[in-house]
Amino acid sequence: MELTYQDSERAREVAERTRAFVDEEVLPRERELLGQRDASSDADRQEEGHELMEDLREIARERDVFGPQIPEEYGGLGMDFADLLPVFEQAGRSIFAMGAMHVAAPDEGNMEILEQAGTEEQKEEYLRPLADGEVSSGFSMTEPMDGAGSDAKNLKTTAEKDGDEWVIDGHKWWTSFGHSQPDFLIVVARTNEDAHPYVGTSAFIVDADADGVEYVRDIPHMGESGMGHAEVVYDGVRVHEDQLLGPEDGGLAVAQQRLGKARLTHCMRFMGMADRSLDIAKAYMDERSAYGDTLSQKQALRFDIADAEMRLHAARTMVRHAARTIQAEGQADTEVSMSKVFAAETVQDIVDTCVQVCGGNGIGKDLPLADFYENVRCFRIVDGADEAHLRSIAKGAFDDDEIVPEELEYVTRFGEPQR
């Protein structure tokens, strides 16, 4: 179903290029890539999957869709954030297109905060090779019970100053990166135990091979065809003070800057999954006959598809509104929370409908619907569980005053005063 959203001419043009890239280059290789996804014990198959992805990245560069969010000075297309939304939706139509175009988490979000909060030296050492696709990164914030999860105030990992170094100790899990170890991680840790966690936390760049970084395991989870997540222990990891990312005690502001926009781009990628799911379901309904008619002639199913199209349109509109608010005002916490909850629930419901419509073919993995379902179910928990976002929305709806330290009133972006 073709609907217009007053996107800019450039946004429409790059989105069209992206759709062509996905349809013509990624989807024909998708099943081959899926064959490599669970090859963690088979080095040869892992290498084959890596080579396939590298081939797709080269094609993405040739077709001018590589790194649409990356600034031009670092080799990307340098698109405005709002213009990226329809591009990310088209990339989301395959779980592999995102990696091929270098718009997948965690690299996409890590590039954002390195650009915004990094020093010139950090940008040259970490951002430039990351933008080129020469290295990979991880984001290490979430902790096992009773550490930080949706409530970041529970952060237990610490970093203590020792001369010109910081010493990091802590236990993280759901550290996001691919199934192989990244080259560096962005680690969030408490640096001022006497302060409120919102203003006593810092972010650090940690080389993955630093002494004391222990990779415990890749965590088995739903959506195995997507990005991997690991359990990591930091045992007396020493980093130079130059590895501090953003201001001291401003780490959660740095992380929030990353997460706000990332939540919206995740929404659009998942809506790409929903859109492709509907394409598959409608094509199946046109071909499949039951009880005297094709499924596409059954009114109940037609209404299910109509409802899905309507809700998908609403989700796209909400995300665009939140993106415009961020661009105009610098932040849009409530709008982002509303968009994230609504988009995640909508896409889950749509993919579930499409699985049901396709019956046995829906739960089989010859089609991507089963993989989509696993991935989108995770989205209702990652990047803040539904309940955390609903709590934030309700707080605004009831005009609740959250009791926080006085200094937190002006800490909104990288620890800088914003009156």
* Residue owning tokens 């501090």: 244
Report CA-CA distances (Å) from 118 to 246, 252, 365, 414.
Answer: 6, 15, 42, 11
pLDDT in tens, 207-255: 999 999 999 988 888 876 545 788 999 999 999 999 999 999 988 888 8
pLDDT in tens, 263-303: 999 999 999 999 999 999 999 999 999 999 999 999 999 99
Q: Which two tokens stand for residue 268?
A: 């659009």
- CB atoms < 10 A from the CB of 107, how many? 27
Beta strands at 137-140 and 293-294: parallel, antiparallel or unpaired: unpaired
The pLDDT of residue 38 is: 52
Q: What is the pTM of this model?
A: 0.88
Residue numbers in the chain where pLDDT is lower than 50? 39-41, 178, 226, 407-419
The pLDDT of residue 416 is: 44
Q: Identify the structural domains of the chain with CATH numbers, from first to last.
A: 9-104 (1.10.540.10), 137-249 (2.40.110.10), 256-417 (1.20.140.10)
The pLDDT of residue 45 is: 60
How far is residue 251's CA from residue 255's CA, in Å, rounded to a whole number? 6
Whether the CB-CB separation of 291 and 404 falls below 8 Å is answered with no
Contacts of 32 by beta carbon, 8 Å cutoff, 6+ apart: 52
